[in-house]
Structure 1
Amino acid sequence: MGKENNLSFHLNERQRDIVKMINKNGSVRVAELSSTFNVSEETIRRDFEKLERDQLLRKIHGGALKVEQHTETPQMHRQSKNIEEKQVIAKKAASYVEDGDIIALDASTTALMMVEYIKDRNLTVITNSIGVTMELSTEDHIRVILIGGYLSKASMSLVGNFAERVIEDYHVDKFFFSCLGVDIDRGISEMHEDQALVKKQLISISEKLFLLADYSKFGEKSLFRLCNLSILDYLITDNKVSMNSIREINKHGINIVVGEENPGAV
């Protein structure tokens, strides 16, 4: 906030409001700000250019991010958050995997945790996660297809246009993926565009969709929208999700599954 206060006298009222909004929400969209302030999208983009020069935001395609959020959260940090809840979700998700399935796993820590519970099955696994690939590299009965692309070091995954083009040629029975936001109105959203685009491509080629989301994701809205909740076959979560959230999701005809406590080893 110190930088914002020091530079505020250089900003007009709209620009100051944009900074407040991005500091509060973590991200903003050009189209939404254009509507909010009743100005053209080009005017908002010029605001972004000034605010980025002042290091008050970081521009991305279609919007901007809070400066502290310009990179993905490192995988080691993500793995240390809500570990028990993610283990519960991972074990429940693995129970839907059957011999002969072609499954896709994203680069989320919850999907990585799933691997321990599916090693005994004969599968084809499509993923952009280096962690998932390494975990399955010694399992002769599991065929692993690592989607190519450029390396995102924070998440240890491969992303980019090449990855998206390769995915087009595949068929997936079941896609297991996570996100940063689950909201009834906005749907499922992701903070990072590269990850969002790979997930969208996998969603488009998958027969069944399994969202893996712990309680902390509910009610959150992130920058890039992946899809509506209504297209999910299953939403798998933990028992810390509020009953109000479960009832609201059930009202929309979505299968929400709550994993059991103490997943243990398989």
Structure 2
Amino acid sequence: MNNANAGKTAYLLLNERQQGIVDTIETNGSVRVSQLSKEYHVSEETIRRDLEKLEMDGFVNRIHGGAVRKVSHEGMEIPVIKRQETNIQEKEMIAKKAASYVEDGDIIAIDASTTGLQMTKYLKGKMLTVITNSIPVTLGLIQEEDIQVILIGGYAKGHSMSLVGNFAERVIQDYHVDKFFFSCMGVDFRRGVSEAHEAQALVKKQIFNISEKLYLLADHSKFGQKSLVRLCGLKEVDYLVTDKKVSIDKIRELNKLGVKVFVAEE
């Protein structure tokens, strides 16, 4: 059994509360024992036992009073197979909505997100140039006769099935992009748009510099979240494609910042 399958199996063997704790840590980067105790209505001792098990299983690193995402020296990404299972219905709707704004002749860029990957199903039949650092996005479009795919070279990241690094960043500088479709780990009205993984963030920032329009793809679970690396301020985003679970108050606040919001419906 390879590492990805082993990790998925270990996750499925956790109870519902423990899975929830893992998801929270993957999204936020860290948790506090006191916070989880209140959220799950169990004692702090129960939460400590949960965190002890999660550390033994390789999901987290415990710290005083809580736990943080388990990282290697470069930072560990959430495996793409795991990310595909999170809020899949919302991601599917957002991807379909985002693809509707792609026109024949466009030069677009798509990041290595699972929502970006979902977009590929709705781009087939169009005449496009697609720039990406995502191996799955490339495989999803490479057979399309009218779509030219440019896969940005670099170091291969197994968890996200993407290419990153200085070489990828240098190559990007030579291109022009009409529309960049990208996702993130957090959308916060003060911090802006953030990403958990520095290598991915650096590639996205380079694509920002060559793009005419920025399309942020973010489901409701990303709102109010902050992650490690700040990608950009919300005022820099031209369009946000999200789902109907985002409150009207948040949409109004985004409109005030100059962000046009598209809500994906079923």
- Structure 2-normalised TM-score? 0.74
**Residue of structure 1 in register with 2:146 after alignment:** 141
Correspondence for 1:88 among 87, 93, 97: 93
Residue 23 to residue 137, structure 1, CA distance change in 2 (3 Å): closer
Residue 205, structure 1, aligned to residue 210, structure 2: yes
| TM superposition shift of 1:56 | 5.9
**Residue of structure 2 in register with 1:26 after alignment:** 29
AA partner of residue 242 (structure 1): S
> 1:196 & 1:253 partners in 2: Cα distance?
23
In structure 1, the gaps of 5 or more residues are 1-21, 28-54, 58-64, 262-266
| TM superposition shift of 1:23 | 11
Residue 24 to residue 184, structure 1, CA distance change in 2 (3 Å): closer
> 1:118 & 1:106 partners in 2: Cα distance?
15
Residue 134 to residue 113, structure 1, CA distance change in 2 (3 Å): same
Question: Superposition pairs for residues 94-243 of structure 1, below 5 Å?
Answer: 94-243=99-248
Q: Work out whether residues 154 and 168 of structure 2, in 8 Å CA contact, stay in contact via their aligned partners in 1.
A: yes
Q: Work out whether residues 62 and 68 of structure 2, in 8 Å CA contact, stay in contact via their aligned partners in 1.
A: yes
> 1:123 & 1:184 partners in 2: Cα distance?
33
| TM superposition shift of 1:244 | 2.3
**Residue of structure 2 in register with 1:6 after alignment:** none
> 1:189 & 1:23 partners in 2: Cα distance?
13
- For the aligned residues, what is the CA RMSD? 2.1
**Residue of structure 1 in register with 2:7 after alignment:** none
| TM superposition shift of 1:230 | 0.7
Which structure is larger by alpha-carbon Rg, 1 or 2?
Answer: 1
Give deviations 1:106-153, integer Å, cap 9, x for gaps.
Answer: 000001000110111000000000001001111111100000001110
> 2:186 & 2:115 partners in 1: Cα distance?
15
AA partner of residue 155 (structure 1): S
AA partner of residue 29 (structure 2): G
AA partner of residue 179 (structure 1): C
AA partner of residue 104 (structure 1): A
Give deviations 1:50-98, integer Å, cap 9, x for gaps.
Answer: xxxxx767xxxxxxx9342541000000001101100110011001100
AA partner of residue 70 (structure 2): E
In structure 2, the gaps of 5 or more residues are 1-24, 31-60
Correspondence for 2:68 among 66, 70, 73: 66
| TM superposition shift of 1:231 | 1.3
AA partner of residue 66 (structure 1): V
Q: Work out whether residues 26 and 78 of structure 2, in 8 Å CA contact, stay in contact via their aligned partners in 1.
A: no
Give deviations 1:162-216, integer Å, cap 9, x for gaps.
Answer: 1000000000000000000001111100010000000000011000100000000
> 2:257 & 2:211 partners in 1: Cα distance?
21
**Residue of structure 1 in register with 2:16 after alignment:** none
Structure 1 window deviating more from structure 2 (236-245 vs 100-109): it is 236-245
Residue 23 to residue 78, structure 1, CA distance change in 2 (3 Å): closer
Q: Work out whether residues 135 and 161 of structure 2, in 8 Å CA contact, stay in contact via their aligned partners in 1.
A: yes
Give deviations 1:202-238, integer Å, cap 9, x for gaps.
Answer: 0110001000000000011111001111111100000
Runs (4+) of structure 1 moved beyond 3 Å? 22-25
SS in 2 for 1:66: strand
- Structure 1-normalised TM-score? 0.74
> 1:23 & 1:91 partners in 2: Cα distance?
26
SS in 2 for 1:249: helix
